[in-house]
Copies of this chain bind each other. A is one copy, B any other.
Amino acid sequence: MTDEIVRLDLQRRSRLGMVEAIWGENKTASQISKILKILDTSSELALVTRVGSKKAKSVQELIPNVKFHSQARCLTLGLPAKPQSSLGKTLILTGGTSDLEVASEAELALRWHGINAEILLDVGVAGLHRLIAQLDRIKEAKVLIVCAGMEGALPTVLAGLVPQPVIGVPVSIGYGVSSGGKVALEGMLASCAPGLVVVNIDNGYGAAMAALRILRSADFS
């Protein structure tokens, strides 16, 4: 006999300061809707990640006040937190257009927590001059999230150029040895640049929450 009570982590906002996030990939539209309804009843915010447009439509039919962000492949319930510009800006860099989904997930997750986040496209290492040309803009950010697939060298080059926290996000694009993003992940972990940190492949949301922890840490203790 299955236990029908859904145990949502409603203390999460107070404990970690984060909106409830639901990983949408391995859940049906009906399972997602059930969870969102409970949160809606408690007036909680929610972010559902990794949702395709078809599943999103099914959820929206069940809960109309849910919003779909197609480029980020996320659903949101409720309104974003009000901007906290004093915490500083996060810049999200990508090697190319193919990394855009993951970068957008990070950008949305940050914005939903009131963080100022911008995406900087097409600064891959195969044409270094494009990156060098943006160094001033890069130096203005407090935290850098760097999305890269293939050989994933971009975060390494960046972490060698600037002193900010750099969070590498391997992206599952590529083919042959790089299909699935493992090469980008391991390249970032093996980086010769000091202090580069990494999250799971395609984990834009995780990188955003890491940036959030960093931006807020100035206020701890």
- By a beta-carbon cutoff of 8 Å, the part of chain A in contact with chain B is 1-3, 5-9, 11-12, 15-18, 21, 23, 25-27, 31, 35, 50, 71, 88-89, 95-98, 100, 103-104, 107, 117-130, 139-143, 149-153, 156-157, 159-167, 170, 172-178, 181-203, 205-206, 208-218, 220-221
Contact = CB atoms under 8 A, between A and B. Distances in A.
Taken together, the copies of this chain in the complex come to 8
20 contacts: A1-B119, A2-B103, A12-B127, A18-B194, A23-B96, A31-B100, A96-B192, A128-B160, A139-B221, A152-B187, A152-B190, A165-B214, A167-B197, A175-B201, A178-B200, A189-B201, A195-B209, A196-B206, A214-B214, A215-B217
Contacts of A191: 126, 150-151, 200
A175 B172 CA distance: 10
A123 B7 contact: yes
B163 A172 contact: no
A97 to B, nearest CB: 5
A27 B98 contact: yes
B201 A50 contact: no
A125 to B, nearest CB: 6
User: Which residue among A5, A173, A218 has the maximum number of chain B CB atoms within 10 Å of its CB?
Assistant: A218
A190 B5 contact: no
B189 A177 contact: yes
A102 B159 CA distance: 22
Given A151-B187, A198-B198, 7 more contacts: A3-B120, A16-B162, A126-B159, A151-B152, A178-B200, A189-B201, A190-B200
A178 B151 CA distance: 13
Given A1-B119, A156-B153, A166-B213, A175 B50 contact: yes
